[in-house]
Amino acid sequence: MAETNQKKSKEWQAEERHLKECRALIAANVAEYERQLEERRKETKALFDEVQSGNVELYDQLVTSRSLEEHSFNQLHKNTEAYGRPFFGRIDYKNLDEKLFESIYIGKHGVLRDKTTVEVVDWRAPIASVYYENELGEGFYEIPDSSTDGRGKPLQYRIDLSLKRTFDIEEGVLQGFYDSDVAANDELLVKYLSKNRDAVLGDIIATIQKEQNEIIRESPFRNIIVQGVAGSGKTTVAMHRISYIMYNYKERFTSNEFCIVGGSDILIDYITGGLPELDVYDIKHMRMDEILTHLLHSEWKKKFKLVSLPVNQAWKSKMLFAKELENYMQQLRNRILANCVVYDEEIGMLLSQKNNDDFINGNPKYSINKLLVTLDERLRNRIKIQCMGREEVGIYKRKLVQYKNYFSSYCYKGNVVSLYLNFLEMYGAEYYIDMTPVSEKIQHGIFDVYDVAAMLIIYYRALQKKPDEEFGQIFIDEAQDFGSIVYYALRTVLPECFFTIMGDVSQNVNYEYGMNDWRDMTQKIFHSKEDAFHVLAKSYRNTIEISDFAGKILRSASKGAYQIEPVIRHGEPVHFLESISSEEAAGICVETIQEMKEKGYETMAVICFSDEDKEIVTLRLSRQITLIDAQNSGFSKGVLVLTVPETKGLEFDCVLLWKPDLTGYRDNPRLAKLLYVAATRALHELFIVQ
């Protein structure tokens, strides 16, 4: 025992020395990058003034100077961020191929000793995957986006891992370290999870679990769907995956090819607010309705209006609706392209049926109009070939005039809306649905998200001139809130894009419309052998007490499909606060919020189950405390009053549920899901105000 303690003491001293040396190096780096940044700012300004005064020959130098200035700024930021906590992990291993022993420290940011020597390895580097995934003993790691092994697979390095160590460092002081066979020691993980929301987000890199890391480091050249229970880290995993891809595949993807898609502005603000901490900048972000209308280009008019989900029109969200729409478009395609034979009595066969069929069948992604325009191009080329060597003067020009716009004259001249209305009429007749309310709404320029998804399919099949290449990586959070046709439309219109789709079918509050299982996604949309499906079952957000309360609700919400596996972190029991009136309940909320502020909690939410209750609560609480207007200021510290759908994907230090129905949910899956979502927003304390 004494020998073990002595060894521990020596290792502690050695780690403290290393930490001190590392911080000294970082301090020197900070000073150097501050000096460089000041010099380069002066140089950039001088060059800018010269170019502005007319000395355009210096423009290339100005561009270079700006690039160097940005590099110095980024390095200064990384080193400044790293100073308080230079690293969180260490691995010792032997490279079995090169017979070399390595000891590597891993941090949130890479730290350089000089231009060629890495002092601290960035968590996104390939070797860092060993810390998250490998057990002690022999194993390997891969180098993504590198030269391959000759079979198209990434290069692999064989290693023998002898040490995996996690450090607890606060403000430059070593608090402890833990050696284990897993990435994050349970004791340290619980410590991090016990902090405020912002602190948790800041420390999460050190505690990424193996199942989360597998998703983060999945190849960016495959589509992945992630089913994750509330608090499993879906959003965090998505954020880190973006950072990982941008770091390791910078030659393949630029930042403007990434897009984050969410159901609300609050959720998007919440996600994007944490990205700069992960070295992610300048990526696109849109609500689901925004990306769908964006992809319609000029077919979406400014005068059009988007409305919330329609009543009793869930059929528009289903794959059957998409399938019938595709059949309709295929029939239209076949009718327009039925006879493409072109025979000229003077110069012979120009385009045969077989030739055209081969071309049309070989280009299934071409729209009808694109096919017709391309057929005209093929026809002009054939005329040129057939007229070669003919003695008759001017026959080539004469035939070009004769067959001008031969096919493109059949291009569909109408718009997406008219085609959609025609399809709705056919669909209504087939399935005995009165389309009058839907058609009248659309004729007045009023659409819901499923109308737009259907029109996007029509646009792609009939009118699109060239493929959309704007997006390379799309990340969708809270995916369960939208029906299958939305994803079918996105996949259809963006066939070269890769999707990361995060959701939890147990949290589908749009019960009739959204995803209640993943079968359509995995069997009909993303069903290639390259596509992957992951499950995150562990909840890292809630305490045991909150998880137990939510788990009872979940059994009604999911019918046992996906259950929570909580991380062992105890807290306060769920609080039940009784009141005899809404006025008294509001007073209880105010008192509770003040108590939570005194505890140091920074993010709190009062969650209501109707818009009417939200108005009442907001009015009464605002008389006594300052509330955050999430619609105007986004997600920030303070107290918010929200409906359940507005909280999707968010988390708070403390949550108060305003007068929930704790009995009716047992026989009402939709109500059960609403209650489950609301309860699982709480990181530390949950109050039921009755």
| CA proximity to 167, closest of 187, 137, 197, 195 | 187
Q: Is the pLDDT of residue 201 over 80?
A: no
Q: Is the pLDDT of residue 185 over 70?
A: no
pLDDT tens digits, residue range 36-48?
A: 999 999 999 999 9
pLDDT of residue 444: 94
Burial of 414 (0-12, 13-18, 19+ CB in 10 A): exposed
pLDDT level of residue 669 (50, 70, 90 thresholds):
confident
CA-based radius of gyration for the chain: 30
pLDDT of residue 664: 78
Query: Distance between CA 512 and CA 318 in Å, rounded?
Result: 10
Q: What secondary structure, in 3-state letters, does 95-159 show?
A: ECCCCEEEEEEEECCCEECCCCCEEEEECCCHHHHHHHHCCCEEEEEEEEEEEECCCCCEEEEEE
Structure-token match 């420290």, residue found = 105
> Of all residues in the chain, what percent carry a pLDDT higher than 70?
92
The more confident residue out of 525 and 512 is: 525
pLDDT of residue 609: 92
Query: Distance between CA 468 and CA 142 in Å, rounded?
Result: 32
Query: Distance between CA 501 and CA 487 in Å, rounded?
Result: 10
| DSSP symbols for 363-376 | -TTS-HHHHHHHHH
pLDDT of residue 665: 79
Please, what is the average pLDDT of the chain? 88
Q: What secondary structure, in 3-state letters, does 428-449 show?
A: HHHHCCCCHHHHHHHHCCEECH
The more confident residue out of 19 and 309 is: 19
pLDDT tens digits, residue range 570-583?
A: 889 999 999 989 89
Query: Distance between CA 420 and CA 432 in Å, rounded?
Result: 17
CA distances from 539 to 193, 240, 682 (A): 11, 18, 12
Query: Distance between CA 245 and CA 249 in Å, rounded?
Result: 5
The more confident residue out of 333 and 144 is: 333
- Residues 405-433 have a mean pLDDT of 93
pLDDT of residue 2: 53
Q: Is the pLDDT of residue 207 over 80?
A: no
CA distances from 578 to 532, 663, 671 (A): 47, 16, 21
Q: Is the pLDDT of residue 149 over 50?
A: no
Residue 574 is encoded by which pair of tokens? 């769920």
pLDDT level of residue 338 (50, 70, 90 thresholds):
confident
pLDDT of residue 400: 93
- Residues 154-179 have a mean pLDDT of 90
Give every CB contact of residue 362 below 8 A, 6+ residues apart in sequence: none
CA distances from 326 to 333, 461, 478, 492 (A): 10, 8, 27, 11
pLDDT of residue 200: 47
Give every CB contact of residue 198 below 8 A, 6+ residues apart in sequence: 602, 603, 637
- Residues 373-391 have a mean pLDDT of 90
Under 8 Å between Cβ of 396 and 389: no
pLDDT tens digits, residue range 90-126?
A: 999 999 888 889 999 999 999 988 878 899 999 999 9
The more confident residue out of 274 and 202 is: 274
Structure-token match 């002009």, residue found = 380
CA angle at 63 for the pair 61 and 64, rounded to the nearest 5° = 65
pLDDT tens digits, residue range 267-306?
A: 898 888 888 888 898 899 999 999 999 999 999 999 999 9
- Residues 225-239 have a mean pLDDT of 90
pLDDT level of residue 155 (50, 70, 90 thresholds):
confident
pLDDT of residue 150: 45
> Of all residues in the chain, what percent carry a pLDDT higher than 90?
59
pLDDT of residue 649: 81
Region for 412 from its dihedrals, namely left if φ exceeds 0, alpha if ψ lies in -120 to 50, beta otherwise: beta
Q: Is the pLDDT of residue 332 over 60?
A: yes
Minimum mean pLDDT among 175-189, 513-527, 637-651: which range? Answer: 175-189
Query: Distance between CA 182 and CA 647 in Å, rounded?
Result: 32
pLDDT tens digits, residue range 250-268?
A: 889 999 999 999 988 888 9
Under 8 Å between Cβ of 344 and 399: yes
Under 8 Å between Cβ of 683 and 542: yes
Residue 319 is encoded by which pair of tokens? 């794959």
